[in-house]
Homo-oligomer: A and B are copies of this chain.
Amino acid sequence: MKLLNKYITFLLFISFNLITYSQITKDYDLWLQYTKTYIYNDLLKNISLDTNNETEKVIKSELELASLKMYGFKPKFTNTGNADLILKKNSELDSSQKNISEKVNKLNNEGFVIETIKNSGKQRIIISSKTSIGLLYGTFRLLRELQISPNKKEFNIIDEPKLKVRMLNHWDNLDGTIERGYAGNSLWNWQKLPELIDRRYIDYARANASVGINAVTLNNVNANALILTPYYLEKVKALADTFRPFGIKVYLTARFSAPIEIGNLKTADPLNTEVQQWWNEKTNEVYKYIPDFGGYLVKANSEGQPGPQNYGRNHVDGANMLAKVLKPHNGIVMWRAFVYSETDSSDRAKQAYREFVPYDGKFEENVLVQVKNGAIDFQPREPFHPIFGAMPQSKLMMEFQITQEYLGFSSHLVFLPKLYEEVLKSSTKNKEKENTVAQIISSRSNELSGIAGVANIGNDLNWTGHPFAQANWYSFGRLAWNPELNSEQIAKEWLQQTFSNNSDFVASISKMMIKSRESVVKYMTPLGLHHIMGTDHHYGPGPWVNNLARPEWNPVYYHKADKNGIGFDRTSIGSNALSQYSPEISQYFGDLKSCPEEYLLWFHHLPWDYKMKNDRTLWDNLGIKYQEGVNEVRNMIKIWNDSKKYIDTERHQEISQLLEIQLKEAIWWKDACMSYFQSISNLPYPKEMEIPIYSLEYYKSLKFPYAPGIKPHW
């Protein structure tokens, strides 16, 4: 048998090499690689598991897949207590496992306990939870642990999600395009639904469940009412049925004018009883298709979308009207706070707060107000949104962007958890005891809390356009589960599952990932600059743009560079947006002595020769930062080249090629922005900076009519 085992090892080695000949699967398999380990592990040999429902069948098939890929064998599923791994709801645990049962009792429905017990001399693992979904989460957790620590045999894990709704927002259109999507087209093949259940749907659900994502809004916030017609609801139902065993609920965006567009009414006024009745009947109809439908996400009165203000009503009128029809079904409304008025010429950063804060405490209990992380729009760096500190009586939901609309699309390696973490850990300094953003979104209600990420997922073979963008999907899920997690830890565990457990590889590449977000800030919008990208497609630099219809669409509105200096004065002598923060925060950002240099030009307009901490001028520092960004990408390329030996050639090469794009575009950003700012400051470039390759006119002449992800103009 020993000889046989040796041959097995040898031949499995061959066979695992063979798998790499299916060149596309590593990219496709995300962080669920279940890479072959040569460490023998019999934890999954005999498994006790009921398979009474679809979720439990999912658990079984995941354990089979993982075991076969990691260890080369299929587990035996038994029902005896004699198994190596026992999965049981706490109601089914026997009296000897009372202490586990007690631990589970203290957890919420999605929480789980994984514990190693010794019983008649044998060591076993028990996963327990109140629900089958909890068992599924526990299974994925165990499989993660086995991949990260192949030698580990003793487990003592208690975990539960801190947020109730952990959601992906897909900005997918019915024509298959994705607004701000950079990884191909929509996963949802509306044409072939409901009959065709694409294998992708299942693998998408597995990936989500593995990190605890339990909610998906299928369609764009710039909504199309047709999604609420029977033709589409039948298709939505097929997706909901597919996702249900994975603990994922389906949500839809509700176009506020749907009663007119598909209901033949003359108005969508939320106080009109016909309108209310229409939404009531429509919602009942939706629940007939999908009994556990999650609810509606609404973008109203923002960027041309219809809303209650069209009828002289307000956000509360609109949100509560929908909340009431959803309430009997336990559905929720997510009402977006990303609004800015077409007629308001004041600082755009101030408008959402002004529109929403007066309504604090007025929303129904099943309404979440969905607030973007910053007050402008998913910039490489923004200070946290002042609303988070200012609506203590409301349920606030975080909206992050996972898709890299403003961060180089899917060709730039940017690890976003650093950005998320920066916002989540920000203290609002409001009067509550728990006042970081993370605490505010997670602690206010046991009943309802949430976080949404705008998905970066499309039908590219690698799902996200860039293998490292998979890390952002993964990390969003992990932070949605627990907003207090550390981004470095997340980077490491993702690398271990996705690429390699080699400690040198993990150490150097996780460091590279952690630095990557600061690099993109430097080569795009250093020192607090923001919103200076190309018009419409948001591809590449466009700081010179000044011809768009509305002032706040123009980059020049945001950087306000003139011969005297640069930056947006949001202090009390400027737009006074700072007044929307608590006094401490306002003071902190408002005082040049305490304001971090990363936020300088976000809050201050300063002369070009303003002296900075390093004793160099603002102008020099601008050039130095842009150059640092470029240099850091060069360094990423070097680090990545050095990692060649640790991973498969295909993905290594793919990422190398993508890094070349990132370098090309980082240089482009530096050169285009600095050429433009130099044409205004008329100052010589700092010596540290490489002189731009082309003229400013060249950069201004570039056009990209077919850049991906452009917003549809309906």
Residues of B within 8 A of A650 (CB): 199
Complex contact A65–B21 (CB within 8 A):
yes
A contact set with B: CB distance below 8 Å: 4, 7-8, 11-12, 14-16, 18-19, 21-25, 27-29, 65, 68-69, 72, 174-176, 182, 184-185, 190-192, 195-200, 203, 226, 409, 411, 459-461, 465, 650, 654, 657-658, 660-661, 664, 705-708
A708 nearest CB neighbor, chain B only: B191
User: Considering the chains assembled together, what is the distance between the CA atoms of A393 and B418 in angstroms?
Assistant: 70
Residues of B within 8 A of A664 (CB): 195
Residues of B within 8 A of A24 (CB): 24-25, 28, 199, 203
Each complex incorporates copies of this chain amounting to: 2
Residues of B within 8 A of A16 (CB): 15, 18
User: Considering the chains assembled together, what is the distance between the CA atoms of A588 and B176 in angstroms?
Assistant: 47
Among B25, B175, B197, the residue within 8 A (CB) of A25 is B25
User: Considering the chains assembled together, what is the distance between the CA atoms of A661 and B203 in angstroms?
Assistant: 23
Complex contact A196–B14 (CB within 8 A):
no
Closest approach, in angstroms, between the C-beta of A403 and any C-beta of chain B?
Answer: 14
Closest approach, in angstroms, between the C-beta of A324 and any C-beta of chain B?
Answer: 31
Closest approach, in angstroms, between the C-beta of A189 and any C-beta of chain B?
Answer: 8
User: Considering the chains assembled together, what is the distance between the CA atoms of A22 and B7 in angstroms?
Assistant: 24
Supplied contacts A15-B18, A196-B658, 10 more A-B pairs, CB within 8 Å: A15-B15, A15-B16, A18-B69, A22-B29, A23-B199, A174-B705, A192-B661, A196-B411, A199-B461, A459-B459
A202 nearest CB neighbor, chain B only: B23
Residue from A14, A29, A196 having most chain B Cβ neighbours under 10 A: A196
Complex contact A21–B195 (CB within 8 A):
no
Among B68, B460, B658, the residue within 8 A (CB) of A195 is B658
A28 nearest CB neighbor, chain B only: B24
A658 nearest CB neighbor, chain B only: B196
CB within 8 Å for A661 and B195 given contacts A21-B69, A72-B14, A459-B459: yes
Complex contact B459–A184 (CB within 8 A):
yes
Residue from A15, A68, A409 having most chain B Cβ neighbours under 10 A: A15
User: Considering the chains assembled together, what is the distance between the CA atoms of A174 and B409 in angstroms?
Assistant: 18
User: Considering the chains assembled together, what is the distance between the CA atoms of A465 and B29 in angstroms?
Assistant: 21
Residues of B within 8 A of A705 (CB): 174, 226
Complex contact A174–B11 (CB within 8 A):
no
User: Considering the chains assembled together, what is the distance between the CA atoms of A184 and B411 in angstroms?
Assistant: 21
Closest approach, in angstroms, between the C-beta of A467 and any C-beta of chain B?
Answer: 12
Residues of B within 8 A of A461 (CB): 198-200, 459, 461
27 contacts between A and B (CB under 8 A): A7-B7, A11-B12, A11-B15, A14-B15, A14-B72, A15-B18, A15-B19, A18-B68, A21-B69, A22-B22, A22-B28, A22-B29, A24-B203, A25-B25, A174-B706, A184-B459, A185-B459, A190-B706, A191-B409, A191-B411, A191-B707, A192-B465, A192-B657, A196-B657, A197-B657, A199-B461, A199-B654
User: Considering the chains assembled together, what is the distance between the CA atoms of A24 and B198 in angstroms?
Assistant: 10
A10 nearest CB neighbor, chain B only: B11
Residues of B within 8 A of A660 (CB): 195
Residues of B within 8 A of A459 (CB): 184-185, 459-461
User: Considering the chains assembled together, what is the distance between the CA atoms of A707 and B176 in angstroms?
Assistant: 10
Residues of B within 8 A of A708 (CB): 176, 191
For the complex of A and B, the 7 pairs showing the least CB-CB separation, nearest first, are A15-B15, A11-B11, A22-B25, A174-B706, A195-B660, A175-B706, A196-B657
Residues of B within 8 A of A184 (CB): 184-185, 459
Closest approach, in angstroms, between the C-beta of A694 and any C-beta of chain B?
Answer: 14
Closest approach, in angstroms, between the C-beta of A242 and any C-beta of chain B?
Answer: 12
Residues of B within 8 A of A460 (CB): 459
User: Considering the chains assembled together, what is the distance between the CA atoms of A185 and B183 in angstroms?
Assistant: 11
Complex contact B22–A192 (CB within 8 A):
no
